[in-house]
Chains A and B, each alone.
Chain A
Amino acid sequence: MNEQQLADLFSEQLDLLLTGQPSVIPPEAGDLQGLVDLGQQFTHVDFQMRPAGQLAFQHQLSTWFGLTSPATSTFLGLSKVWIIGLIFVAIVVGSGLTLLSVPVLNHWIFNPDDGPNIATEEPASTAPDAPAGLPVVLPEQTDSTAPDAPAETTTDTTSSEGDVLPNVTSSQGDIIPSETPLPTFSLKDSLSLPESAPGSTGEMTGDNSAITGDNAAGESGEDDGAGNVPGGPTKGDDHDRGHGNDAGGFDPDNPGNSSGIGGGDSGFDLEKLGRGDSSGGSQGGGSNGSDKGKSDDKGGGKGNSKNK
């Protein structure tokens, strides 16, 4: 074998040696085996960079290519940036919840009665236990004459403000909760009417003459002819407004509501009204239907003013 052939064979054996494969030297190769053994010694000569040098080189690579440094500390797989961000978000959320809870706690601590009041107001206004098909009985309407309406009994109660409030009980025995805050109504006047005129709750229908008889006695001469009820809304020529129980739509001030319950015939008889003696009694009973007669009465209807 010439030198070139030996050199090529030697290079092949070195490549096998470097790949970890065993080298096979033919016998005619001469001293080639000794050279391969010498080359095998080089495979054990391996220099490794010191740790400080490796860190410096990794830092240089991270500077060049923006690689993450292996020395970056992590906690539960999260980097410092994520941990700080999560802590910040937790602080912000906690502060927000604290600020929101302060007014709520103040409301509960310093206003403990607000909760129950709210609960009692709602059923009073809607009357959920009222029978289907029956109108909701409001405190104003309890004193009206309604012969066809379900029997209702009223029990006066006194609110914290001193107003007399009714507890309305329907014919089925359901108690409609009372309304406490109705400041716009003057309940005291209308609720006291039944006591002043007991006959107005049904007995008045068709019996106006008896009532007017009392009025005709002239005992109520002190009345001004209009104010049948102390504190009553009507006076003199003032027509009743808002009750709307005028039967037959006779009330010129409130014609649209004239078909209300309990309008009845009481006080509607123009002939009796014309005599001027029937309106006084009917008005004293609080019958809304008789208000027409009252208002038209200018002289004789003064007697009931003594009642209340």
Chain B
Amino acid sequence: MQTVVIEEATKKNKSDAAPSLDFAALFQQYYPRVYNYLRYRVNVPEDAEDLMSAVFEKAYTYREQYDPAKGAFSTWLFGIAHNTLANFYRTRQRRSVWETETELPEDLTTPEVSPETQVLHQEAVTRLLHGLSSLGERDQEIISLKFAGRLSNKEIGQIMDLKEKTVSVVLLRAMRRLQKEVQELA
């Protein structure tokens, strides 16, 4: 899962421009990444699953409106996820999902390492997620789209309505703030 890269997505996006798209296969391919992105922003797995179901239901309903000439399928799909998540926050009036989270989530996968390393990894991830939750909405969103969605700066710019160069700068600043938060948590 981690090996899925942006270049791979770009190649796939070129194939998405085919006249007839296999939406079933595309949904199968992209749903892990969408779920990972939603979990970066939502601390409850059930909420993330409900959000993902809502995202793909919208994608299925409006699949005929997708135009490959206007952008990649990943951009279109993560755009739906971005808007769905914004509506979710607006309805619940919750700014961050990791504010009160103190334990490692159950659905978080850990690498196959020694128990000691795994403990260190879990502590690092916990600090990382708490630091992420302390960031602003745009910082959280751009970091989530970059690492969880594994999108390029161009795709992130299309989703967040930003220029590619601006995305690079915003991402750099967000990472500096996150680094500061993590250091404070440590």
Contact = CB atoms under 8 A, between A and B. Distances in A.
B24 A20 contact: no
Contacts of A57: 31, 49, 52-53, 56
Contacts of A222: none
Contact of A11 (B60, B111, B147, B168): B168
Contacts of B125: 41, 44-45
Interface residues of A, number: 34
A35 B175 contact: yes
Contacts of A7: 165, 168-169, 171-172
A53 B128 CA distance: 25
A34 B183 CA distance: 11
Contact of A47 (B3, B31, B109, B153): B109
Interface string A121-158: 00000000000000000000000000000000000000
Given A35-B179, A46-B1, A46-B108, A60 B53 contact: yes
B169 A49 contact: no
Chain B, interface residues (CB within 8 Å), range:
35 or more
B162 to A, nearest CB: 12
Contacts, number: 123
B27 interface: yes
Interface stretch (B32-40, B66-74, B77-85, B87-95): B32-40
Contact of A61 (B27, B105, B109, B172): B27
Interface string B132-174: 0000000000010011101011000000000001011101100
Contacts of A187: none
Interface in B8-46: 23-24, 27-28, 31-32, 35-36, 39-40, 45
Contacts of B150: 18
Contacts of A64: 24, 60
Contacts of B106: 50
Nearest to B175: A35
Given A15-B152, A43-B2, A57-B31, A35 B109 contact: no
A61 B24 contact: yes
Contact of A4 (B48, B56, B165): B165
A19 B178 contact: no
B109 A60 contact: no
A19 B153 contact: no
A175 interface: no
Interface string A1-12: 001101110110
Contacts of B172: 3, 6-7, 10-11, 35
A161 to B, nearest CB: 84
Question: Which of A4, A7, A34, A45: most chain B CB closer than 10 A?
Answer: A45
A22 B45 CA distance: 33
Contacts of B52: 49, 57
Interface in A218-244: none
Nearest to B37: A47
Given A7-B169, A11-B153, A48-B109, 18 more contacts: A3-B169, A4-B165, A4-B169, A8-B165, A10-B171, A10-B175, A20-B5, A38-B175, A38-B182, A47-B40, A47-B105, A47-B109, A48-B36, A49-B49, A53-B45, A60-B53, A61-B27, A65-B23
Q: Which 3 A-B pairs have the closest CB atoms?
A: A47-B39, A7-B168, A42-B147
21 contacts: A4-B165, A8-B165, A8-B168, A10-B172, A19-B7, A35-B175, A35-B176, A38-B175, A43-B147, A45-B108, A45-B147, A46-B2, A47-B107, A47-B109, A48-B32, A48-B107, A49-B35, A50-B45, A56-B53, A65-B23, A67-B24
